[in-house]
């Protein structure tokens, strides 16, 4: 009660769990207020230089994946028998492999594939983890115990092995890979969300809604999930990184995307086998992949700084 | 005149922030004389805590500090952390607000006291330090200090932890102890103990005390000199008697007028101060209080008034250009704050028995099972959080339940709100028993009649919803046609004194008091018969609190509402309630009409509770008899066969052994004049 | 207290058993040992295949429940984890492979945890200064380099380094050289082999502890009890060292247990890149060869590692946190 705090110091309280994040100033018009909030976020984001670099790199990569094919002289499955294992040259910008595939075309397609899987998986895990995490925390009791049991079970379970088994069985269909990736990677975020929602569940506005007779699932959707919005945004970005890594790891081992379809992972797998004879086969996909993950991670970091100024570190805890 | 231990001159503190530089402290000067107690009062954001942290050198590194702080002849500002560490804890000690977080959880309290001793005295042997630690624990009243010195903080109650913190502060016989809201987080009976203890510490060490608080009662109880702070400046400074008797600055007057008094029976409306404190960014050169001041004149906006001696008296200074026109709260024969009018209800003419009950609670009980085991929970016992509580509330009536934390008052309220079916009792809301409710529809129907207002004005409104959506939510839940929602929300905003045009804003754009009004509007949306108020004003500053209390009073009359009011603040209860129940360890110990209970308390616990509240009147406060209860609330898991209050009861101590046996073995029932005033003590 | 640990351990053991059994059932859904023989030349008759698979408990003609019971009972009573479709004993394979992987995972886990915590403390004590910014910038990049890229990059660097010094200082394939004997030569040989894969795992793994430790420590530095310690007369550095650090280590410890699956995944990829004949490589081999029993053994190994990590974390928490000790 009546703790000494400066109204403006309140501005740094945690919007992640929906605290009072703006000072009790004399009200200004609502719309303008809302705009200021976004302005504040973007100002904080822009202040984080690496994050801006990250978003620029990411946008360039996406643009490359989308418009890259327009400039490709070859199709990624097309074989140029006159250019086997060629180093980068004006005709084959990124060189070719020993079968004569154009690496430029393959990297573009691989990037598309990896991005697509990553975005699908990140969307899926974010939604799944948000609903399960908040619902488990809100409803408590049996639902919570069951959800936690599943989460702990998945923590012990060798998910990568199950993933490899299932995706190998699918013959490298990216849709199956994405689905399985969602199934085995939602739980970690769900646990974080659950922990956070435990405190959210005790918020008085949640009690208030319950005592008004608002049905449970509606409270979860109307009150809990919107209030972890910024966390979900960050989770989504980190989910993209995680999914790219898992997918490329799988494809590298040969359990993921399979020829003729390519992903950055399978390209690196091919590159790895010819590292000393044709190193470019490794360099280009590896560079695209690393730029993708690192840029996205920088964006996530910037978002965290912008949306959640209380988090001092910005680690992936 | 003695040389002051601490002398602060023109202290300024500012912090960078998103919105610009925050000037948290703007030129504060004061002296603390040896052995005396200086009270610094102010509301949140007044700069009082920042002042104390600046003296201690404990502000964040990004704070910019100016002016001068001389302690014991030494200038403190500009000293390095290492230099300051020689002074901190040695000559200059501090007691913080929250005892639950002030002690490091992973070390024993003994370790932490010993550390305070040896850090300033490296020659002290470990043996001697431990002996001294035990001695200190004994001094601050920790029972069995020999054993307890090896306990970890989490094994102590809040009050006990604060005693340990005080022991640490006393460890090196400091010359000045700074206490920053040391009792705010504690219950009132514990507060009385701690205030006593700070007095003891002061006598033992001869230290001066700087007491920072928002509570005028605490100031009246403990301070010799007082500084009232507002918007980062001292706005009135005087000896404690002068300040209370001859208040000159309108803000100080408002602060005193806004506090409900536990010792006053007549129900005069409280006098709120309108508006809220200014943001401390780019303050204009004008009186910062002018916007809220009822007697502001144009000259107030011309320049910020200096803290000047009032009528030449050196020890009374005020920062108001009209200070000399003000006498005893009057200016030109009129009160500085006009007293608002609150309508009276026609229902009050009707005798209580003739009014319809809106809530009937019969033998409400709540037990929590105590379980053990990681996989299969085995029940090893139960905690009886509420033990057979019965009461009723009639139309237009306010029933208050008071008690300290752990008394079960909140559990009682949540049981009612949860519509928890009772095995051996009943809860009836406007005649409908909660056991008869089957299904969500019937439940929602009944929920229309009972709504709740929460304590925390920040936490009770979803920050991601506009105020319109917040107030409309209960309407939508009961399937109100969309066309009716808009006008109804406007009507409700208007009812609680907010501008309906502001309903498209987010809660964050409103101040604490305004948010609480939004919470009230939401509770009233479905036209309930009963509103449950869970500590609705305890999170608000006193100046704002008064406005909300008046609003509640007014709404009750206008809408014929009944309130169930749960609070720990007996002053507020006395002001607002018609009937009151005092709760201790899950049961009522006294219950009846509010004046009967407050003017003629019977149960020893009620008496102790009432006497523990500091009254904002230093003269009365000095002559009043304080009953300081010893010890803490027993653990609810303890098996109690007789009167639950026996372990702390002052009356029990005076009884002869035969009578004591009855207290220990027989549970006292509520007896007296049923419906008017009953209490649960065998000997009252 | 020991009862608490015992109870926790029993819980983890149950979890491991459950996971292993579930993997067995799932493995049968996705792996088909029969297909190993289908394309054979000369083609094998149905009966011949059954004759080959049936004694190995790998014939899908036998009801799943019976197969499961055969498998489970032989583990339970004889500690026999079955054979591969070609008749190799899983026990034999795992017996030597687990030490190879265990060595790699344990070494890497210890190194990356210590490094991460140390950097976290360093970073937190220099919040927003150059050292902190550089450390954080580096960590966010290393953490997000895919392990495959990191490992292959390290291989390239090591080859360049070996070429530059003119001798093989770091081996890029295998976990040991054949024919090395004697204590010191063996030790040196293992170090030369283990250095690179460990470096790869540490490079991508340490950063999460760096960030976690940093943020926890910063939270604790702002806590009331650190302020209280300073008010007692400790300097800021002393207060942080004595009061904040220990409290902040508690959640980090728990985190270690939960990151073991990620380290295992990392080990699978590194082993494949550095051609280690460990559990990771076995993982790839068993899946591609439809070796149900082998796959399950790999799963069990992973689960046991996680459980061991979790139990160690529990012990560490009990040691560090008196609040747990009492209850």
End-to-end CA distance of chain A: 32
- What average pLDDT does chain C have? 85
Say if the Cβ atoms of A8 and B508 lie within 8 Å: no
CA distance C72 to B20: 69
Per-residue pLDDT tens digits for C55-64: 787 777 778 8
Q: Do A9 and B15 touch (CB under 8 A)?
A: yes
Write out chain A residues lying below 8 Å of C137, CB-based.
50
CB < 8 Å from B in window 305-324 of C: 320-323
Nearest residue in chain C measured CA to CA from A298: C140
- Structural domain count of chain C: 1
Q: Does A241 touch chain C (CB under 8 A)?
A: yes
pLDDT for A8: 34
DSSP state letters, A236-270 = HHHHHHHHHHHHHHHHHHTSSS-TTS--HHHHHHH
Residues of chain A numbered 33-62 and touching chain C (CB < 8 Å): 50
C128 in a structural domain: yes
Q: How many CA atoms lie within 13 A of C138 on its CB side?
A: 13
Q: Which of B90, B105, B118, B161 to mutate to test the interface with C (most CBs of C within 10 A)?
A: B105
Residue A10: its pLDDT value, please? 34
Residues of chain C positioned with their CB less than 8 A from the CB of A254: 284, 288
Interface test with C, best of B52, B94, B100, B106 (most C CBs within 10 A): B106
Q: Please give the residue of chain B at the shortest CA–CA distance from A9.
A: B17
d(CA B277, CA B273): 10
pLDDT beneath 70, residues of chain B: 1, 265-267, 347, 371-380, 636
This model of the complex carries an ipTM of 0.83
Q: Give residue A37's pLDDT.
A: 62
Helix (H) / strand (E) containing B26: strand B22-32
Q: Cβ–Cβ of A265/C148 closer than 8 Å?
A: yes
pLDDT of residue C14 exceeding 70: yes
- Shortest alpha-carbon distance between residue C296 and chain B (Å): 26
- Nearest C-alpha neighbor of C86 from the set C321, C296, C292: C292
Residue B392 DSSP label? E
What is the rounded distance in angstroms from the CA atom of residue B161 to the CA atom of residue B149?
A: 12
Residue of B nearest to A2 (CA): B44
CA distance C182 to chain A (A): 34
Give the phi and the psi of residue A97 in degrees, each rounded to 5: -95, -175
Note which residues in 309-328 of chain B have CB less than 8 A from chain A. Answer: none
CATH of domain A104-290: 1.10.3720.10
CA distance B247 to B234: 14
What's the sign of the alpha-carbon dihedral A155, A158, A160, A166? negative
Pairing label, strands B398-402, B334-335:
unpaired
State pLDDT tens for residues B255-291.
888 888 877 766 677 888 888 788 888 888 889 998 8
Closest CB from C225, C235, C242 relative to B85: C235
Cβ pair C145:A293 closer than 8 A: yes
Task: Report CA A221 to chain centroid distance, whole Å.
Answer: 22
HEC string of chain C equals CHHHHHHHHHHHHHHHHHHHHHHHHHHHHHCCCCHHHHCCCCCCCHHHHHHHHHHHCCCCCCCHHHHHHHHHHHHHHHCCCCECCCCCEHHHHHHHHHHHHHHHHHHHHHHHHHHHHHHHHHHHHCCCCHHHHHHHHHHHHHHCCCHHHHHHHHHHHHHHHHHHHCCCCCCCCCCCCCCCCCHHHHHHHHHHHHHHHHHHHHHHHHHHHHHHHHHHHHHHHCCHHHHHHHHHCCCHHHHHHHHHHHHHHHHHHHHHHHHHHHHHHHHHHHHHHHCCCCHHHHHHHHHHCCCHHHHHHHHHHHHHHHHHHHHHHHHHHHHHCHHHHHC
For residue C262, being part of any structural domain is answered with no
Q: Examine residue C220 and state whether it is found in any structural domain, yes or no.
A: yes
Q: Copy the structure tokens of residue B562.
A: 């009944």
* A143 in contact with C, Cβ within 8 Å: no
Highest-confidence range of A155-169, A264-278, B644-658, by mean pLDDT?
A: B644-658
Is the Cβ of A140 closer than 8 Å to some Cβ of chain B?
no
Does the beta-carbon distance from A160 to C127 stay under 8 Å? Answer: no
Residue A30 has pLDDT above 50, yes or no: no
pLDDT given for residue C205 in this prediction: 87
Q: Please tell me the predicted confidence (pLDDT) of residue B1.
A: 53
For B218-244, letters b (16+ CB in 10 Å) and e give: bbbbbbbbbbbbbbbbbbbbbbbebbb
Q: What chain A residue is nearest to C309 in terms of C-alpha separation? A: A156
Q: Which residue has the tokens 């004759």?
A: C51
Which has the closest alpha carbon to B496: B457, B447, B449, B535?
A: B457
Where do the structural domains in chain A lie, given as residue ranges?
A: 104-290
B378 touches chain A (CB under 8 A): no
User: Tens of pLDDT along C85-133?
Assistant: 787 888 888 888 888 888 888 889 889 999 999 999 888 888 778 888 8
Cis geometry, peptide bond prior to residue C323 (ω within 30 degrees of 0): no
Query: Counting one residue from B and one from C, how many pairs have CB atoms under 8 Å apart?
Result: 85
| Per-residue confidence (pLDDT) for residue A311, from 0 to 100 | 43
Q: Does residue A1 have a pLDDT over 70?
A: no
- Residue B266: what pLDDT? 66
Q: Tell me which H or E stretch contains B560.
A: none
In the sheet that holds B378-394, the strands lie side by side as B378-394, B357-372, B426-429, B432-433
- pLDDT score, position B210: 93
Q: What is the DSSP string of B244-311?
A: HHS--SHHHHHHHHTS--TT--S-PPP-PPPS-PPPSBS--SS-TTGGG-TT--GGGGTSPPP-EEET
Q: Which of B235, A143, A271, A312 is nearest to C214 (CA)?
A: A312
* CA separation, residue B171 to residues B165, B204, B554 (Å): 10, 11, 52
* pLDDT of A22 strictly over 60: no
For range C154-181, the mean pLDDT: 84
Enumerate the residues of chain C whose CB falls inside 8 A of the CB of residue B103.
225, 228
The mean pLDDT value of chain A amounts to 76
pLDDT tens by residue, C20-40? 999 888 888 888 877 777 777
User: What sign does the CA torsion over A118, A120, A123, A127 have?
Assistant: negative
**Domains annotated on chain B, with CATH:** 6-234 (3.40.50.300), 284-339 (no CATH), 351-449+528-652+666-679 (3.40.50.300)
Shortest Cα–Cα distance, C215 to chain A (Å): 5
Residue ranges making up the domain that contains C179 = 93-248+269-277
The structure tokens 């009790």 sit at A24
Cα–Cα distance measured from residue B4 to residue B30, given in angstroms and rounded to the nearest whole number: 10
Gap from A186 CA to chain B (nearest CA, Å): 25
Name the residue among A11, A18, A222 with its Cβ closest to that of B17: A11
Q: How many CA atoms lie within 13 A of C78 on its CB side?
A: 8
Considering only CB atoms, which chain C residues are within 8 Å of B86? 233
pLDDT recorded at residue B28 = 92
A268–C149: do the CB atoms touch at under 8 Å?
A: yes
Instruction: Specify the residue for token string 């400091």.
Output: B174
Distance, in Å, from the CA atom of B542 to the CA atom of B218, rounded to the nearest integer, reads 14
Please indicate whether, in this complex, the C-beta atoms of C295 and A165 are within 8 angstroms of each other.
Answer: yes
C154 assigned to some structural domain: yes
Q: Using an 8 Å CB-CB cutoff, list chain A residues near B455.
A: 204
Query: What's the pTM?
Result: 0.81
Q: What is the pLDDT of residues A182-222, one digit of tens each?
A: 988 888 888 888 888 888 888 888 988 988 888 888 999 88
- Residue B261 near residue B247, CB atoms below 8 Å: no
Asked if B374's CB is within 8 angstroms of C8's CB, the reply is yes
Q: Is A149 on the interface with B (CB under 8 A)?
A: no
Mean pLDDT over residues C292-308, rounded?
Answer: 88
The beta-carbon neighbor of A312 closest among C16, C219, C261 is: C219
pLDDT in tens, A208-263: 898 888 888 899 988 888 888 878 887 888 888 888 888 888 888 888 777 777 88
Task: Using the CB atoms, write b or e for C65-99: b if 16+ within 10 Å.
Answer: eebbeebeeebeeeeebbbbbeeeebbebbeebbe
Which chain A residues contact residue C155 at CB under 8 A?
Answer: 275
């Amino acid at each position: 009660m009546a703790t000494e705090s400066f109204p403006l110091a309140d501005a740094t309280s945690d919007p992640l769990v929906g605290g009072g994040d703006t000072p009790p100033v004399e009200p200004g018009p609502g719309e303008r207020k809302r705009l200021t909030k976004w302005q504040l976020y973007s100002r904080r984001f822009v202040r984080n230089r690496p994050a801006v670099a990250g978003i620029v790199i990411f946008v360039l990569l996406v643009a490359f994946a989308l418009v890259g094919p327009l400039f490709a002289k070859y199709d990624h499955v097309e074989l140029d028998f006159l250019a086997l294992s060629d180093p980068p040259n004006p005709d084959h910008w990124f060189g070719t492999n020993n079968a004569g595939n154009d690496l430029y075309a393959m990297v573009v397609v691989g990037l598309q594939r990896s991005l697509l899987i990553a975005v699908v998986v990140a969307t899926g895990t974010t939604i799944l983890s948000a609903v399960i995490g908040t619902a488990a925390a809100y409803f408590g009791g049996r639902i919570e115990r069951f959800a936690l049991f599943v989460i702990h079970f998945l923590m012990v379970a060798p998910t990568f092995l199950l993933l490899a088994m299932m995706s190998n069985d699918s013959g490298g269909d990216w849709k199956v890979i994405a689905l399985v990736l969602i199934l085995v990677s939602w739980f970690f975020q769900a646990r974080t969300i659950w922990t956070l929602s435990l405190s959210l569940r005790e918020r008085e506005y949640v009690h208030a809604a319950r005592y008004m007779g608002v049905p449970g699932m509606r409270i979860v959707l109307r009150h809990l999930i919107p209030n972890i919005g910024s966390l979900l945004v960050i989770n989504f970005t980190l989910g993209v990184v995680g999914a790219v890594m898992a997918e490329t790891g799988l494809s590298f081992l040969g359990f993921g995307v399979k020829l003729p379809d390519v992903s950055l992972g399978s390209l690196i797998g091919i590159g790895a086998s010819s590292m000393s004879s044709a190193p470019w086969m490794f360099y280009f996909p590896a560079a695209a992949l690393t730029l993708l993950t690192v840029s996205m991670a920088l964006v996530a970091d910037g978002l965290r700084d912008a949306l959640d100024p209380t988090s001092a570190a910005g680690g992936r805890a | 005149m003695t040389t002051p231990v601490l002398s602060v001159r023109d202290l300024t503190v500012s912090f960078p922030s998103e919105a610009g530089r925050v000037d948290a402290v703007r030129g504060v000067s004061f002296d603390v004389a040896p052995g005396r107690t200086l009270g610094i009062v102010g509301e949140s954001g007044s700069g009082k805590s920042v002042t104390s942290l600046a003296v201690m050198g404990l502000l964040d590194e990004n704070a910019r500090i100016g002016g001068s702080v001389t302690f014991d002849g030494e200038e403190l500002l500009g000293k390095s952390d290492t230099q300051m560490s020689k002074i901190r804890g040695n000559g200059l000690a501090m007691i913080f607000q929250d005892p639950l977080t002030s002690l490091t959880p992973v070390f024993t309290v003994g370790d932490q006291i010993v550390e305070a001793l040896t850090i300033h005295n490296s020659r002290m042997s470990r043996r001697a330090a431990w002996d001294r630690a035990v001695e200190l624990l004994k001094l601050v009243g920790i029972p069995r200090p020999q054993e307890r010195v090896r306990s970890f903080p989490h094994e102590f109650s809040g009050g006990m932890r604060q005693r340990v913190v005080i022991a640490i502060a006393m460890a090196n016989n400091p010359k000045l102890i700074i206490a920053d809201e040391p009792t705010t987080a504690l219950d009132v009976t514990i507060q009385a103990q701690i205030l006593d203890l700070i007095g003891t510490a002061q006598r033992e060490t001869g230290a001066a005390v700087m007491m920072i608080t928002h509570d005028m009662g605490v100031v009246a109880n403990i301070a010799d000199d007082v500084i009232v702070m507002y918007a980062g400046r001292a706005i009135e400074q005087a000896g404690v008697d002068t300040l209370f008797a001859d208040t000159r600055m309108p803000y100080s007057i408002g602060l005193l007028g806004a506090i409900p008094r536990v010792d006053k029976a007549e129900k005069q409306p409280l006098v709120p101060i309108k508006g809220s404190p200014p943001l401390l960014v780019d303050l204009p050169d004008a009186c910062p209080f002018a916007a809220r001041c009822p007697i502001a004149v144009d000259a107030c906006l011309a320049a910020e008034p200096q803290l000047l001696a009032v009528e030449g008296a050196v020890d009374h200074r005020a920062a108001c250009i009209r200070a000399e026109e003000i006498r005893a709260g009057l200016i030109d024969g009129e009160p500085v704050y006009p007293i608002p009018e609150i309508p009276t209800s026609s229902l009050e003419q009707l005798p209580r028995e003739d009014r319809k009950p809106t809530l009937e609670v019969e033998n409400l009980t709540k037990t929590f099972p105590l379980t053990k085991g990681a996989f299969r929970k085995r029940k090893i016992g139960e905690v009886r959080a509420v033990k057979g509580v019965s009461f009723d509330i009639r139309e237009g009536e306010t029933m208050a339940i008071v008690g300290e934390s752990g008394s079960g008052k909140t559990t009682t309220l949540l049981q009612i709100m949860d519509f928890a079916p009772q095995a051996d009792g009943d809860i009836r809301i406007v005649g409908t028993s909660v056991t008869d409710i089957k299904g969500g529809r019937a439940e929602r129907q009944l929920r229309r009649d009972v709504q709740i207002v929460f304590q925390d004005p920040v936490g009770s409104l979803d920050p991601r919803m506009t105020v319109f959506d917040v107030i409309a939510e209960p309407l939508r839940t009961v399937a109100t046609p969309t066309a009716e929602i808009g006008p109804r929300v406007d009507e409700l905003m208007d009812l609680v004194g907010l501008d309906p045009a502001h309903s498209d804003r987010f809660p964050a754009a409103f101040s604490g008091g305004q948010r609480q009004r939004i919470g009230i509007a939401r509770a009233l949306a479905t036209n309930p018969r009963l509103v449950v108020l869970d500590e609705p004003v305890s999170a608000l500053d006193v100046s704002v609190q008064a406005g909300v209390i008046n609003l509640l009073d007014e709404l009750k009359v206008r809408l014929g509402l009944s309130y169930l009011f749960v609070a720990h603040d007996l002053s507020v209860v006395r002001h607002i309630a018609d009937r009151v129940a005092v709760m201790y360890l899950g049961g009522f110990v006294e219950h009846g009409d509010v004046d009967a209970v407050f003017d003629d308390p019977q149960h020893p616990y009620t008496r102790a509770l009432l006497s523990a509240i500091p009254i904002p009147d230093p003269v009365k406060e000095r002559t009043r008899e304080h009953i300081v209860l010893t010890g803490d609330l027993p653990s609810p898991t303890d098996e109690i066969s007789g009167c639950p209050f026996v372990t702390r009861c002052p009356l029990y101590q005076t009884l002869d052994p035969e009578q004591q046996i009855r207290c220990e073995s027989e549970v006292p029932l509520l007896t007296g004049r049923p419906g008017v005033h009953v209490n649960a003590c065998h000997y009252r | 207290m020991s009862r608490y640990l015992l109870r926790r351990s029993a819980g983890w053991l149950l979890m491991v058993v459950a996971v292993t059994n579930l993997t067995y059932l799932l493995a049968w859904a996705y792996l088909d040992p029969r297909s190993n023989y289908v394309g054979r030349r000369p083609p094998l008759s149905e009966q011949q295949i059954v004759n080959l698979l049936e004694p190995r408990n790998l014939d899908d003609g036998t009801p799943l429940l019976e197969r499961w019971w055969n498998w489970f009972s032989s583990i339970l009573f004889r500690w026999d984890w079955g054979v591969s479709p070609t008749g190799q004993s899983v026990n034999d394979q795992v017996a030597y492979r687990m030490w190879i992987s265990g060595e790699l995972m344990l070494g890497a886990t210890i190194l990356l945890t210590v490094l991460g915590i140390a950097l976290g403390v360093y970073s937190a004590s220099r919040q927003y200064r150059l050292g902190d910014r550089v450390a954080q910038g580096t960590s966010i990049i290393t953490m997000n380099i895919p392990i495959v890229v990191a490992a292959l990059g390290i291989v390239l660097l090591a080859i360049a380094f070996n070429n530059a010094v003119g001798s093989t200082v770091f081996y890029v394939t295998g976990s040991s050289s054949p024919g090395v004997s004697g204590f010191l030569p063996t030790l040196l040989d293992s170090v030369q082999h283990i250095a690179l894969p460990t470096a790869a795992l540490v490079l991508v793994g340490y950063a999460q502890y760096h960030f976690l430790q940093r943020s926890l420590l910063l939270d604790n530095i702002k806590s009331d009890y650190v302020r209280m310690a300073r008010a007692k007369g400790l300097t800021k550095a002393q207060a942080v060292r004595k009061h904040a650090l220990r409290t902040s280590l508690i959640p980090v410890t728990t985190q270690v247990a939960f990151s073991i699956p990620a380290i295992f995944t990392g080990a699978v990829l590194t082993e494949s890149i550095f051609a280690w004949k460990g559990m990771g490589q076995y993982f790839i081999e068993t899946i591609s060869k439809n070796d149900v029993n082998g796959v399950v053994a790999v799963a069990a190994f992973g689960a046991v590692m996680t459980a061991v990590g979790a139990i160690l974390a529990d012990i560490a928490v009990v040691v560090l946190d008196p609040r747990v000790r009492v209850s």
